[in-house]
Structure 1
Amino acid sequence: MMPFKNGSCLLAVVALTSCATYDTPDNIAAIGTGEGYQAQYRTPDVSRANAGFLRSSEINASRCKPPRGGSGGKGTGAVAYALRGERLSRNDLVDIRIGDDDTFNGNYVVSRDGTLKLPFLSPVRAQGRSTDEIESDIAQELLAGDFFVDAPRISVRVADFASVLVGVSGAVFEPHAVEIGGIQGDQVDSLRQAALGASTEGRNLSVALRAAGGVRPDADLSAVQLRRGGTLYEVDMRGVLEGRNVTDVMLIAGDEIDVPSRGCFQEDLMQPSPISPPGVSLYLSNLTQPAAGNAIAAVGQEVRQVPYGTRYLQAVIDTNCVGGARSTSADRSSVLVSRDPVTDVSIVIERNIEDLLRRADRDDFDPYLLPDDALVCYDSTVTNIAELGRVLGLAAVVAAVVK
């Protein structure tokens, strides 16, 4: 292999080495001082003078607005009577039986206008109401129409709950209208369908929150707002993260849910729960050489899935960015690409993995991962030097051929 003339090989080494050095990624927010979405994004103190003093939780909490629902009333706090129990919605299937008279007996579907239409009777309002309330209205209609002298025995039972479309906005990861409830055709239980009565958990408030991507870490769960028919209700959902059996409201078509924000990152919300994201999908790249496709890179067609509440350091280990021979694998670094869900501004955080592994105060600079975060892993210094040698070797071969 022939060397370059006039010291060109040395110049190439210097040039390539300088190209391999990069500045710390810039961000619009003052990430370095803890003013990002979570304080764990801030830059580690190189001097380690503050090792052992965990301040991230304090920094996060300092930005929190007081909970709108107050400090009490957690878990199964009082919920307005209008939200309790089963409530009918459009397209629900209802079984109605009236004494021994077969004239009105049968299965009815709640109409698009939210009413039940029995023969010879005025439409009975059903949307958002309980079966007891509907039984009372039907009795009044029968007496008013002189069908009975005395109020007959009436049975109104739900035979099947339909799916409903509700709007979810505020401090959730994917605010949009979601369809919840209902059963797919291939999952229908024929015995349950034939039985009198129906039950479902698929139309609960918690299901709607999770269908909208789950609540964000800045959510105020003390006063989740539910607007129904022009009336605004507030539901305390804090107990769901504390192992309490909260009152989970049953939703109807047209409900609008808004989750207010406390304006701060709450670490206690970073845990799996019925209202949290089902997990975190990580987009990753940890190749020494960029590949032409996923198959060649052995990454697979899907991104890596990690549990909600996973931290940066756990993720880089899970994505094979850590470990190996100490002499060749030390001093690796990794970049976390995230997005502030409040401002919708992207954030890029770079960490020296080995340094973070050895810090006693690592939790201060070890951020939690959010849905759709991306990880980029960079190789160690030894690997970079070996790669530099490979490039120079190829350059020398090309120069020799050209000569």
Structure 2
Amino acid sequence: MSFTEQSLRPIRPAALRTSSALALSLALAVACAPERRPDNLEPAATGGGFQAQYRTPGPKPKEAVALRSAAMNAETCRAPAGGTGRAAHAPAGLGGEALSRGDLLDIRIFGDTTFSGAYEVSRDGTVKLPFLGAVPAAGRGSGSVARDIGARLVAGGHYPEAPEVSVLVSDFGSVRVGVSGAVFEPHVIELGLRGDTIDTRRQEALGGSTEGRNLSAALRAAGGIRPDADLSAVRLTRGGRSYSIDMRGAIEGTAFDDVMLIAGDTVAVPSRGCFQEALMVPSPVSPPGVSLFLSNLTQPATGNAPSANGAETRQVPYGTRFLQAAINANCVGGALATSGHRSAALLSRNPLTGVSVVVERRLEDMMTRADRDDYDPYLLPGDALACYDSTVTNIADVARVIGAVAGGF
């Protein structure tokens, strides 16, 4: 019998049943086989990762137990560089209004038309008035500049005694400052930029005000502080001199002096070398939210349009935990028989070392544990979450595939 003749012979039903049964058995064995646990470079499974919550859950407690994750995270913390006390006010010379290059000033001298007018703080940080030369302005308040102008008018012989001088801000310009250290996106940022809508009445009014150039705005624009940040001693360098500023009040809801920045300032946030759960809250210096990368497809995507993958991320509030994100991604719930044994994997990165970590959780187990908070990690910006279907759903998909293959004979 030739090969062609044998290939055209009909397959006997018994042989088909045997082949299908064997394939189904193999498929079920694969579907029910235990998955391989994620391997990590850092000892996350034993609590040695960035968060103690990364560690592998142990047996379910039969009784109420004390939660240990916060204490484990605090074990590696260095003492606050600024001490345990609170400094509500900034160091001398940093409080109040601070002029910078690009600021618009309205300078008026009583009964005078020669020197009065609108001025801009020059690139070199001075205000240049006719016949008076350059008056230093950057880093100073308007009142200090007014007194300096009055003294120069007397020194130049223009007035026998200091006249009344008024210096008011018409508009604050934008500034560039560098932010580094324990923030999520360290880089040079530009603060004080106006949006598309401008309030003309405020533009015309004198004595301008802005919060857009404050220290808290700079930290937020740099991605927000990391959970390991030491807010007790944020370092601000201006004109070659460094200052230590206590920003803990921004997290605790107490008074703190939100320093106004000028062009050329640099800000460095030190690290305590540990994960601090107290910093995982919305605040003026925290990240505006967490952009979470999601993968939750029962069937592999055939394309972006039919699989609704146009947006690759989802925004969740800062302070969101793993289990909350899994519910947000529709990984939890549904028919208990088919959805009760789902799992999810979280991909994160240690901001101190740059090393990635993957942690996996059985979602139904997390839902029913009394000590779930001990193993429920906080999400960080840029984290990714992948959901996996239950074993029953996997078996059902395998059966559909085998049925499709068998139907082709």
Instruction: State whether TM-score is above 0.5.
Output: yes
Residue 216 of structure 1 is matched in structure 2 by: 226
Is 1:38 aligned to 2:51, yes or no? Answer: yes
Residue 177 of structure 2 is matched in structure 1 by: 166
1:209, CA displacement in angstroms? Answer: 0.4
Aligned letter for 2:197? Q
Give structure 1 regions of 4+ aligned residues with deviation exceeding 6 angstroms. none
Deviations 1:145-177 (A, max 9, x none): 211111111111111000111111111111111
Rounded Cα–Cα distance in structure 2 between residues aligned with 1:369 and 1:156: 48
Aligned residues: 396
Superposition TM-score, scaled by structure 2 size: 0.92
Residue pairs, 1:268-347, within 5 angstroms? 268-301=278-311, 303-347=313-357
Residue pairs, 1:375-390, within 5 angstroms? 375-390=385-400
Aligned letter for 1:354? E
Q: Provide the secondary structure at the position in 2 that maps to 1:81.
A: coil
Aligned equivalent of 2:126, options 101, 105, 115:
115
Aligned equivalent of 1:86, options 97, 113, 119:
97
Deviations 1:49-87 (A, max 9, x none): 79623111111000100000000015x2x3212110001
- CA contact under 8 A between 1:285 and 1:377: conserved in structure 2? yes
Residue 67 of structure 1 is matched in structure 2 by: 80
Is 1:393 aligned to 2:406, yes or no? Answer: no
Residue pairs, 1:112-191, within 5 angstroms? 112-184=123-195, 186-191=196-201
1:136, CA displacement in angstroms? Answer: 2.0
1:234, CA displacement in angstroms? Answer: 0.8
Q: Provide the secondary structure at the position in 2 that maps to 1:104.
A: coil
Rounded Cα–Cα distance in structure 1 between residues aligned with 2:348 and 2:25: 33
Aligned equivalent of 1:29, options 24, 27, 42:
42
Aligned letter for 2:71? E
Residue 198 of structure 1 is matched in structure 2 by: 208
Between 298-307 and 374-383, report the one with greater CA deviation: 298-307
Q: Provide the secondary structure at the position in 1 that maps to 2:114.
A: strand
Q: Provide the secondary structure at the position in 1 that maps to 2:149.
A: helix
Q: Provide the secondary structure at the position in 2 that maps to 1:58.
A: helix
Between 329-338 and 295-304, report the one with greater CA deviation: 295-304
- CA contact under 8 A between 2:68 and 2:374: conserved in structure 1? yes
Gaps of 5+ in 1: none
Rounded Cα–Cα distance in structure 1 between residues aligned with 2:26 and 2:127: 79
1:300, CA displacement in angstroms? Answer: 4.6
Rounded Cα–Cα distance in structure 1 between residues aligned with 2:361 and 2:14: 37
Q: Provide the secondary structure at the position in 1 that maps to 2:129.
A: coil
Aligned-residue Cα RMSD (Å) equals: 1.9
Is 1:374 aligned to 2:389, yes or no? Answer: no
1:187, CA displacement in angstroms? Answer: 1.9
Q: Provide the secondary structure at the position in 2 that maps to 1:167.
A: strand
Aligned letter for 1:371? P
Superposition TM-score, scaled by structure 1 size: 0.94
